[in-house]
Structure 1
Amino acid sequence: MKTGRLALRTGAVGALLALTTASLLVGGYDITIGNLFSDPAAREMFFISRVPRTLALILAGVAMSVSGLIMQMITQNRFVEPTTTGTAQWAGLGILVTLIIAPNTPPLTKMVVASVFAMTGSLVFLWVLRRVALKSSLIVPLIGIMLGAVVSAVTVYLAASFNLLQSMSAWRSGGFSGIVRGHYEPLWVVGAITVAVFFLADRLTVAGLGRDVARSVGINYERVIFVATLLVAVATGVTSVVVGFLPFLGLVVPNIVSLVRGDNVRGNLPWVAALGAALILLCDLIGRTVVAPMEIPVSVVLGAIGAAVFIALVLRQRRHAAF
């Protein structure tokens, strides 16, 4: 058993390292391990563009995967994540509001506003959820998708009214082609969020069992839910400003990990983070190579994969319910 676990961990680390290396070397500008030492231009391009892009991919993958894990625990539903609960759409509305009111707002202010809007959207979603009779677990993401659609419609209307549709499409595309040194650094806040989730892991696991169970063991259920929602809002807000929307990532990764390892947050957290980073690296490599030298945005590839996995999860649940 221990040998099998060690082999699995070694394979996972090896796969992540291989994808990271490929991300650093693949691109329109010819960079190889050899010319990194002999060509100053290649070395400069490597550190200005390739390294920041790869780090942004990893950090964004970790952010959205961990956010999905948190949301699934606090809602007790496997079909939710920031883009299926309206959280990401609210963050987008916050970004648009800053573009309308203060177009020259620095990125840090945009992240704060986007996080506040994302927090508001998450609380609205949870408020609606508590007042709806849930006869099926599929009702939960449907409510979130409907709320997100309403917010997206308002966002598009405002963007069209203020001639900002082009700006809106840029940060909704979920692409990494514009990531360079000096642009991705705010994503490091995700590391702090992941550490916070690790320390909250036991409380999140108990809170995922419901309010009554949490209170019976002395845990302040409302406080844990609020802190967890705040962490998701910050991660979503920062990621939305830096790279845009990354659909289904927070849904796919936690479900795959929980199918293999169960629902222990502390034990699953490293696996969720690693698989999230690996999946987004893989999607980015597909987008960069399929139509090279052009690129397909990561959100397009990720959306196609995520939609297929989402359907598979729904069908799997229906089969289990039938038995």
Structure 2
Amino acid sequence: MTAPQLTSESPPPPTRGRERLVDGKLLIGIGAVALLLVVSLFTGVYDVLGAEGGGEMFAITRIPRTIALVLAGAAMSMSGLIMQLMTQNRFVEPSTTGTTEWAGLGLILVMVLVPSAGLLTKMGVAIVFSFVGTMVFFLFLRRVTLRSSLIVPIIGIMLGAVVGSVSTFVALQFDALQNLGVWFAGSFTSVLRGSYEVLWIVLAVGVAVFVVADRLTVAGLGEDIATNVGVNYRRVVLLGTGLVAIATGVVTVVVGNLPFLGLIVPNVVSMIRGDDLRSNLPWVCLLGIAIVTICDLIGRTIIMPFEVPVSLILGIVGAAVFIALLLRQRRHG
């Protein structure tokens, strides 16, 4: 695979010294996110403190939902960070490269071809389709001569639209459109004990990202530089793509689509702390968890006793941040 070439609009290589991995600010951030998670545990229509069976309801719904918020928020934020490094573009993440749509196509095909398939089968197929879709995106990227910061995500969004249309067509043919809509709604409403545990896989993904963080950072500088310092560029890109595919596939199966999360978080963290993946990773995870939790709390309370899908809130916030980033780039030339 040929590396995307650096352009005048590509994000600059890291220029700051490496930040400390753990400091007082990070501990304060952990405390603030912990408070948000406590609020999440005790927010809902059902009174888990005073109602009969409240303790059981707390264990069945509130704890799994809060754990899912943590794992899904961290996973999709990390995925965005990895993809932005590999493409050298600030506007790339799973929902702007078609990765999420490919995972959805895998899900609908499993449901149509193997209706009795279990959760692990659906997850495996979604991961494979996510990987293939991301590699297709990279292949298209190789053919593009104009590598402006906007052309790259436009290509991904177009590919995602095509794949999403295929998924919709298949769903219409087999009367499964409602299922497809539920998958892409991006909601934690259905997260219960016994249905979310596969999300723990993304914890292993996070550990793997931390272990290979330096290689991913070097690969983000381009194939020539990576090769000169002894890094196997293609192998690292395949590894990064595989990690993104696993995270996206698992989250899509359990929760659904979380749009723009991987776009918002890495950009905010990079603007404040620079571009070193290893030292930024804890902050990316924390901010991703915080944003997902806040959006979920808004969705739970804004029309209580009903809920608004978290993807709706994220879409509004993400679109606003996307526009702000475009305006910021224009001001800086």
User: Is the structural similarity TM-score above 0.5?
Assistant: yes
Aligned to 2:269: 257
Q: Distance in 2 between matches of 1:135 and 1:99?
A: 38
- Find 1:20's aligned residue among 31, 37, 40: 37
Matched, 1:151 2:168: no
Q: Distance in 1 between matches of 2:52 and 2:273?
A: 46
SS at match of 2:298: helix
Matched, 1:227 2:239: yes
Q: For the Cα contact (< 8 Å) 2:110–2:122, is it kept in 1?
A: yes
Unaligned runs of 5+ in 2: 1-18
Aligned to 2:76: 64
Which one-letter code corresponds to 2:273 in the other structure? Answer: R
1:1-323 map, 5 Å: 6-32=23-49, 35=50, 41-321=53-333
SS at match of 2:212: helix
In the TM superposition, what whole-angstrom CA distance separates every residue of 1:127-174 from its partner, at most 9, and x where no partner exists? 000110124111000000000000001110110011100111111110
Which one-letter code corresponds to 2:193 in the other structure? Answer: R
Which one-letter code corresponds to 2:274 in the other structure? Answer: G
In the TM superposition, what whole-angstrom CA distance separates every residue of 1:22-72 from its partner, at most 9, and x where no partner exists? 10000010124xx4xxx6611100000000000001100011000001000
TM-score (normalised: structure 2): 0.92
Unaligned runs of 5+ in 1: none
SS at match of 1:179: coil
Aligned to 2:6: none
Residue 17 of structure 1: how far off its partner (Å)? 1.0
Q: For the Cα contact (< 8 Å) 2:26–2:283, is it kept in 1?
A: no
Which one-letter code corresponds to 1:256 in the other structure? Answer: V
Which one-letter code corresponds to 1:266 in the other structure? Answer: R
TM-score (normalised: structure 1): 0.95
- Structure with greater proportional helix content: 1
Give the superposed CA RMSD: 1.3
4+ residue runs of structure 1 moved beyond 6 angstroms?
Answer: none
SS at match of 1:55: helix
Which one-letter code corresponds to 2:48 in the other structure? Answer: I
